[in-house]
Structure 1
C-alpha cells in the first residue's frame, strides 16, 4: 500500500514534541501506523532534534546553518524507525510502534484507534447523518477537538463546506476525491478555512474516515446549516 498524502512536517514536529492535544495526536498516530514513510520522517525529526539538543548543550547556541542541516535531515533520513508516543492532556497516550506496517489481520482499524472504538467494523454502532451517511462520535478527554468516524456511501458527496480552524481526515477504508486529488487508505488530508470543498466517496465501496475538527463545519447549504446542531457536525 502506497500512501500519497502524508502528514505535514509542521504537524509531525508538533506530534514528536508532544504539543498536540489528544484528537490531533490520535489522527497522526493512526496515520503513522498506516504509512511507513511518515514513520521514517518522524524518526528523522527525533534524531535531528536529539543532535540539535546535544549541540545546544555543548556550545550554547545554534546557527542558521545548523537549522538548515536539520531540515535537510528531516527530508532525507531513512534510518531504522523506533517506537514513539504522542502525549495527551489527560494522560491517555495514542501511540504506534514505528517500524512494522499494519498486518492484514488487523483489518480496517489499526492501533491506536482500535483502543478507542474496537477492531470489528461490523459491530460499530453507527448513527445516521442522512443521505446514507453515518457517524460515530469518539469520546476523548480533549476539549479542543471533536473526533468521529464517518462512513460516506459510495459515490456520494459530503455537502460543500469550509472550516473554522483545522480539519484532519484520515482514510481507513475506501477512498474519496477532493477536486483532482484522490485520498485512499492511509492518506491524510489537512484542511482549514482557506479550503471550500465537496469530498466525494468513490464508486464501489463506502469510504470510512477518521475526522478531527476544532469547530463545527461551515456548510454552504442553508438547509444543512439548519439541521447541523441536531447532527452535531
Structure 2
C-alpha cells in the first residue's frame, strides 16, 4: 500500500462509481484506487450512496431507443474492479488489460517508451516509461489528461509526483514533466484529446506515435 499525496477528485470518483467515466479515465481511476486506501474508502462511500438511491427510486418506463442505447453499452470495455495489489509495478486493473503479460514497449526516442493499452473514440490510455533524468517534451492539452505514477517519480511546473500520485492536467496546463533521480519512471496516462507539443519534431512524429 502506498501513501498518495495527489488524489483523484471526489467528483471523478462519483462519476466512476456511477459508470459515467470513459474507459481510459476509468482505468486510471481503478488503478489509483487499487493503490490508495483513502480513495478506496471514498469510492465505497459513493457506491453505498448510489445503491441507496437506486433502492428508493421509482421505476420509470423508458423508450425503446433509450433501452437499446443502454444495452449497447454492454459492448464497451469493462474496467476490472479495483483490488489492492500484492506485488509488482502494475496494479491489478492494469494487469487485467495486459492479460497478465508484461507490456509490449515501443521506443519514442531518448530512452522514452510507451505501450498503448487502448486508443479509440473515447480517448487513449497508455503506459509510459521515462528514464530517470529524462524530460517529456513541453506540451499542453486539447482536453483532459490523467497521469498515475506506478514506479519512480516525476516533477513539473505543478509539483512532485511519486508512486500512487495522480496528476490531472487540462487545457490550462503547459508543462515539461521530468523523471526524477532514482528508479526509472513508469506512468499510466489517459487522454481524451491529442497532446499539443510546442516543439516541431514531436509534432511531426505525433501521428506515428498516436500521442
Classify the TM-score, shorter chain: 0.7 to 0.9
Quote the residue 1:129 is aligned against: 108
- Output one character per residue of 1:180-217: Cα deviation in whole Å (capped at 9) or x when no partner: 52111111111111111111101122111111111111
Change (3 A) 1:97 1:226: closer
CA root-mean-square deviation: 2.0
CA contact (8 A) 2:82 2:92 kept: no
Within 2, Cα distance between the matches of 1:130 and 1:94?
30
User: How do 1:59-208 and structure 2 match up within 5 A?
Assistant: 90-97=75-82, 101-104=84-87, 107-119=88-100, 123-139=102-118, 142-179=120-157, 181-208=159-186
Which residue number in structure 1 is paired with residue 21 of structure 2? 20
Contact in 2 for aligned 1:21/1:89 (Cα 8 Å): no
Cα distance in 2 between the residues matched to 1:35 and 1:45: 16
| SS of the residue 2:97 aligns to | helix
Matches of 2:13 and 2:74 in 1, distance apart?
A: 18
Number of equivalent positions: 196
Q: Whole-Å Cα distance in 2 between the matches of residues 89 and 188 of structure 1?
A: 28
Q: Report the CA distance between 1:112 and its aligned residue.
A: 1.2
The change in CA–CA distance for 1:89 and 1:30 in structure 2 (over 3 A counts) is farther
Say if 2:151 and 2:184, in contact at 8 Å, map to a contact too: yes
Instruction: Report the counterpart of residue 6 of structure 1 in structure 2.
Output: 7
Aligned to 1:43: 44
Whether the 8 Å CA contact 1:166–1:193 is kept in 2: the answer is yes
Mapped partners of 2:137, 2:151: distance in 1: 20
Query: Deviations along 1:33-58, whole A, 9 cap, x unmatched?
Result: 1111101001111223344556666x
TM-score, with normalisation over the residues of structure 2? Answer: 0.84
Deviation at 1:225, TM superposition (A): 1.3
Mapped contact 2:18–2:50 kept (Cα < 8 A): no
Equivalent-residue separation in structure 2 for 1:194 and 1:128 (angstroms): 29
Q: 1:116 to 1:53 in 2, by over 3 A?
A: closer
- Give the unaligned 5+ runs of structure 1: 58-87
The answer as to 2:199 corresponding to 1:221 is yes
Moved over 3 A (4+): 49-57
CA distance in 1, matches of 2:74, 2:157: 36
Inter-CA distance 200–119: structure 2 relative to 1 (3 Å threshold): farther
Using the size of structure 1 for normalisation, the TM-score is 0.77
Give distance in 1, aligned partners of 2:35 and 2:14. 18
Distance 1:214 1:103, change over 3 A: same
User: In 2, distance between residues paired with 1:154 and 1:118?
Assistant: 28
